[in-house]
Amino acid sequence: MARMTAARAAVEILKREGVDVAFGVPGAAINPFYAALKASGGISHTLARHVEGASHMAEGYTRTHPGNIGVCVGTSGPAGTDMITGLYSASGDSIPILCVTGQAPTAVIHKEDFQAVDIASIARPVTKMAVTVLEAAQVPGVFQQAFHLMRSGRPGPVLIDLPIDVQLTEIEFDPDTYEPLPVYKPAATRAQIEKALGMLNAAERPLIVAGGGIVNADAAALLTRFAELTGTPVVPTLMGWGVIPDDHELNAGMVGLQTSHRYGNATFLESDFVLGIGNRWANRHTGRLDVYTAGRTFVHVDVEPTQIGRIFAPDYGIASDARAALELFVEVAEEMRAEGRLPDRTAWAASAQERRATLQRRTHFEDVPMKPQRVYEEMNKAFGPETRYVTTIGLSQIAGAQMLHVYRPRHWINCGQAGPLGWTVPAALGVAKADPEAQVVALSGDYDFQFMIEELAVGAQHRIPYVHVLVNNAYLGLIRQAQRAFDIDFQVNLEFENINAPELGAYGVDHVKVAEGLGCKAIRVTDPGELGAAFEQAKKLAAEHRVPVIVEAILERVTNIAMSTTNDISDVTEFEPVAAEPGHAPTAVRPLKV
């Protein structure tokens, strides 16, 4: 039997579980693990500037390809507490990441030793497992269990805390015979699927709400096939965007209070049956439940049994992995079609596309300073279906979801439930690391961009190129818009006169100089007519220099983006004029019908 340190055993297990990339920051209490990483080889490491940044890089890495598990490594004390936001973000969106922390020696953990904190207790509410390993011989089993838990049921993150003496202790471990534990996923039965499909067939105006669970299960093709077989329009959630292409005849648009389409909400309000698959009925999707559920029958399919009924009681619930359920949905639907037992949904599906062609928002404005809508119009022109968009929160994300187009799963990579400012830069680096040949385009407002701006240096150091679209209005735009309900505009204004850049006027921070100082390239655009050329230049610069390239669009200071102010999806306020002629929305998926 081979003898090795527990830290080396942990690294060998990582490799046999499919890990070949890690993100992190070394420190005294985790140095034995880093020594094992170096000695073992086979896992490339990206040095972050902040451990929270490393955790978001791990998230971006996981979200890019099916089967990926991002790994974040840090030392004891504040490194672990810095990871909590990443763990919360991953937990909320069902994203498996593994965070490994160092810890003070076991003998002094409870003696207020330097940087000794009970990180397992702190992390437990936002992980599937958080444990401080006190016996070196348990390290292999704990890591084996971690991967089993991350992949089983509803995916999610794990934190393993390793005291330095545990890492250094030699144990017996044979990596050559190591085997991952079988992954558990609940699976629907044929009887359950037949009942759900019978309920769908009995409806006149059914919809499928397709959530992020379909992305996690790598089941987008099955979802599209099932929709085509039954002729049922599909409403992707924000986390499920891309499971059916935006230009598909059965894509009905998104629904919700903020990241929604006019036509999506209108079609949903006409529906009488909803089949939710891999979704969690998030409050910004549903709004007021009495409005959302009125007059509709619901079937909910989710991998997590306790998710069914958590928000509201469906008429029928099925605990199942989305892929397992959709395989059966397709099988049964194909049999029914062969027997002529599927209703004709042509008229209902056509009505959804008619709304799509008539209920559009305007994107084409010539104003200077520019309106944000024009930025997304030019992004649609510059970046094709292969683009992987990365964003987190704010008016920039909300407007982007209303106006951009996504055609493939994992091409809208969004932090959904947690929405932490600063997430976008490190997550984009994780995405670009996972798919080095992809066109990765990040989207931020100025405040999100400033939160973890130091991580741009990681892209410069490690040659990780992507394009970052920065829409700058020198405001906390979403919070300012929310403060309208309180008749205030308080502590949300980022405006100041920069003594080193008077040409910026009220826009304060010189993002171009900061980005260049961190080793990146940056372009500032003030005229909407110059956006297209700037995006093309940014793509060339990223390819040439292999660093992040920022395109900063200077916006008008105040723009209110369409959303409900009453928590009601039937009452969304359009603050700007809607599209009234085709030239108002030239990049819409369907040409405007007037």
Give the burial string for 370-393 (b: 16+ CB within 10 Å, else e). bbbbbbbbbbbebbeeebbbbbbb
| 25: annotated active-site residue | yes
**Dihedrals phi, psi of 22, to nearest 5 degrees:** -140, 155
Handedness of CA 368, 374, 376, 381 (dihedral sign): negative
Note the Cα 149 to chain centre separation in Å: 21
d(C-alpha 273, C-alpha 296), whole Å: 5
Among left, alpha and beta (phi > 0; psi -120 to 50; other), residue 220 is alpha
Catalytic residue (choose from 25, 73, 117, 441): 25
Catalytic residue (choose from 164, 274, 275, 421): 421
Q: For residue 212, give the nearest of 203, 204, 220 by alpha carbon.
A: 220
Catalytic residue (choose from 51, 162, 359, 425): 51
d(C-alpha 237, C-alpha 214), whole Å: 11
| 51: annotated active-site residue | yes
d(C-alpha 399, C-alpha 563), whole Å: 10
Give the burial string for 325-361 (b: 16+ CB within 10 Å, else e). bbbbbbebbeebeeeeebbebeebbebbbebbeebbb
| 550: annotated active-site residue | no
| 21: annotated active-site residue | no
Cβ distance 81 to 64 under 8 Å? no
**DSSP-assigned letter for residue 254:** -
Q: Tokens at residue 287, please?
A: 């709004």
DSSP per-residue letters across 521-551: EEEEE-SGGGHHHHHHHHHHHHHHH-S-EEE
Cβ distance 60 to 90 under 8 Å? no
Catalytic residue (choose from 222, 250, 476, 512): 476
- Reported in sequence order, the residue ranges of 204-296 that DSSP labels E, i.e. its strands, are 206-210, 234-236, 273-277
**DSSP-assigned letter for residue 590:** S
| 479: annotated active-site residue | yes
Residues in a beta bridge with 419: none
3-state SS assignment for residue 417: coil
Q: Tokens at residue 169, please?
A: 């202790």
Catalytic residue (choose from 43, 291, 479, 492): 479
3-state SS assignment for residue 431: helix
Residue in this structure with the two tokens 């995916």, named with its chain if needed: 155
Active site residues: 25, 51, 421, 476, 479
